[in-house]
A and B are shown apart, each in its own frame.
Chain A
Amino acid sequence: MLLSSTSTLDNKTIIKYHGLVHGESLIGSNIYKDLFSGVRDVVAGRTSTYEEDLDGARNEAIEAIEAKAKEYGANGIIGLKISYNNLGGTMGNTILVSVYGTAVTYKD
């Protein structure tokens, strides 16, 4: 699956636009996870497990849109956008990772 944040694909011909695909994943809504995030950051330094959680959540959201694009028979997603949003939460740390783009079928 080819992922691109651009609106076109160079040297490739798009033969079908399938439309919008989006995927979301969430981290930190668990009250206990939030409570210990401070300690985890201090113990593990800047490259903490919290950062790994963020990367994991992003990958999960990307996997979700790839799966949806495959359902349409697409082999690429263009105009891809990734955003991290704070939804607040009991401890103020619910992060929503939102990934969306346009599923397309292209040929070389």
Chain B
Amino acid sequence: MTSEIKNKLNNLKNKEGRKKFLIEIACIAFGTIVGIATYVLCLYTNFAIFGWNFGLVLSPLFAGYAESFVAKRYLHESTGAVSAFILFIITVIYGFIIANPTLGFNVITAGSIVIIIQAAFPTAMNYFLIAMGLGIVSHLSGVFKKITKFFTGLYERIFKKESKVKKAYQQKQIYGERQINHRYDFYDMELNMNDLGVRLLTLEYPPEGLKIKEQKGIYISRHIFSSNRTEEIKEGLEDQLEENVLIGVKLAQDKAILKLIKELKADGCNGIMNLEIIFDTVGPKKGDNVNQVFLKGTGVVFEEDGI
């Protein structure tokens, strides 16, 4: 690689070498222009299926083809389809960042990325796809699992002890359960918020049978929480994800209600009207999310002899 660069630089010293270099640049530029024109045409004619534009694949292909065509004609050798790579960068930046900055990650976008990379790096991607295909077949048929199980069993039989992998897996399971139980064992899940001396009402209008003596104004409360999902996925605890997130949500909500009740009681309120509970995502981290539960309502003083 270094010697190739050195040769190229040495060639630039003579007239013939410089001429060849300029033709190579012209070929790459021609390929790039053809690619951009293809992409623009595909965007203009909306040549797309399910919102996915064919220009993402066609433009690098046409760019590479056009570049190779002129390179073979004038240089009698390939320039390495550099324009296909340039088009790959242009289409990805435009299609995925500028035009669709909020594009989510799903099977369609994942497939698009694979196809675009395939167009830019055909040989490397083919090897990768073959390896991936074998991996999927092995996973579905369980061949790889059977092979590793066979060797694990062989190891256990020969050395008369459990393999480190098996031991680590068992430890992980025990650790996972303990971690989940430990995380919430300080909190009384059966705590009844309606028994704490403040009437929590979602009603907009004054309730029948209850007389409001005084309105104390708006009261708000919030609690910010994160669900640490990345850690749980790493620990192999995907099955418990939903349950854990729900417990986290309940915990956050109860904490916010408790804060609200504390404030209301401090101001002499014995009720809250038009109570609203709002959940929101306040700032995503990588994998995890920081969420907030936000409560608002109007603090009131009810007459004690109400229903």
Which residues of chain B are near A93, meaning CB under 8 Å?
Answer: 104
Q: Does the CB pair B202–A79 fall under 8 Å?
A: yes
Minimum Cβ distance to chain A for residue B230 (Å): 7
Question: Is A56 in the interface zone, CB < 8 Å from B?
Answer: no
Q: Does the CB pair A88–B281 fall under 8 Å?
A: yes
Of A19, A35, A38, which contacts B201 at CB under 8 A? Answer: A19
Minimum Cβ distance to chain A for residue B302 (Å): 10
Evaluate whether A98 and B281 lie within 8 angstroms (CB atoms) in the complex, with A17-B207, A87-B227 already known: no
Evaluate whether A87 and B245 lie within 8 angstroms (CB atoms) in the complex, with A20-B202, A100-B202, A100-B277 already known: yes
Minimum Cβ distance to chain A for residue B259 (Å): 14
Q: Does the CB pair B253–A22 fall under 8 Å?
A: yes
A87 to B291, CA, bound (A): 7
How many residues of B are counted as interface, with CB atoms below 8 angstroms from the partner's CB atoms? 46
Type the 1/0 row for A13-36, where 1 means its CB is closer than 8 Å to any CB of B: 111111110101110011110111
Question: Is B188 in the interface zone, CB < 8 Å from A?
Answer: no
Q: Residue of A at shortest CB range from B230?
A: A90
Q: Does the CB pair A31–B233 fall under 8 Å?
A: yes
Which residues of chain A are near B202, meaning CB under 8 Å?
Answer: 20, 78-81, 100-102
Which residues of chain A are near B199, meaning CB under 8 Å?
Answer: 17, 19
Which residues of chain B are near A92, meaning CB under 8 Å?
Answer: 104-105
Question: Is B4 in the interface zone, CB < 8 Å from A?
Answer: no
Evaluate whether A17 and B307 lie within 8 angstroms (CB atoms) in the complex, with A37-B106, A79-B204 already known: yes
A92 to B253, CA, bound (A): 22
Q: Does the CB pair B201–A8 fall under 8 Å?
A: no
Which residues of chain B are near A78, meaning CB under 8 Å?
Answer: 202-203
Q: Does the CB pair B105–A96 fall under 8 Å?
A: no
Of B207, B233, B276, which contacts A81 at CB under 8 A? Answer: B276
Of A32, A72, A96, A102, which contacts B279 at CB under 8 A? Answer: A96
Type the 1/0 row for A32-49, where 1 means its CB is closer than 8 Å to any CB of B: 101111110010000000
Most chain A CB neighbours (cut-off 10 Å) among B50, B193, B275: B275
A49 to B104, CA, bound (A): 19
Question: Which chain B residues numbered 200 to 258 have a C-beta less than 8 Å away from chain A?
Answer: 200-205, 207-210, 227, 229-230, 233, 238, 241-242, 245-246, 249-250, 253, 257
Other than the given A7-B204, A15-B209, A19-B200, 7 more pairs (CB < 8 A) read A17-B307, A19-B193, A25-B246, A37-B106, A85-B278, A88-B281, A94-B245
Q: Which 8 A-B pairs have the closest CB atoms?
A: A19-B194, A88-B289, A38-B106, A79-B202, A20-B200, A85-B279, A7-B203, A38-B107
* 11 A-B pairs (CB sep. < 8 Å): A15-B209, A17-B209, A19-B193, A19-B199, A24-B246, A26-B242, A38-B108, A39-B107, A39-B108, A79-B201, A87-B227
B-binding residues in A (CB < 8 A): 7-8, 13-20, 22, 24-26, 29-32, 34-39, 42, 72, 78-81, 83, 85-94, 96, 98, 100-102
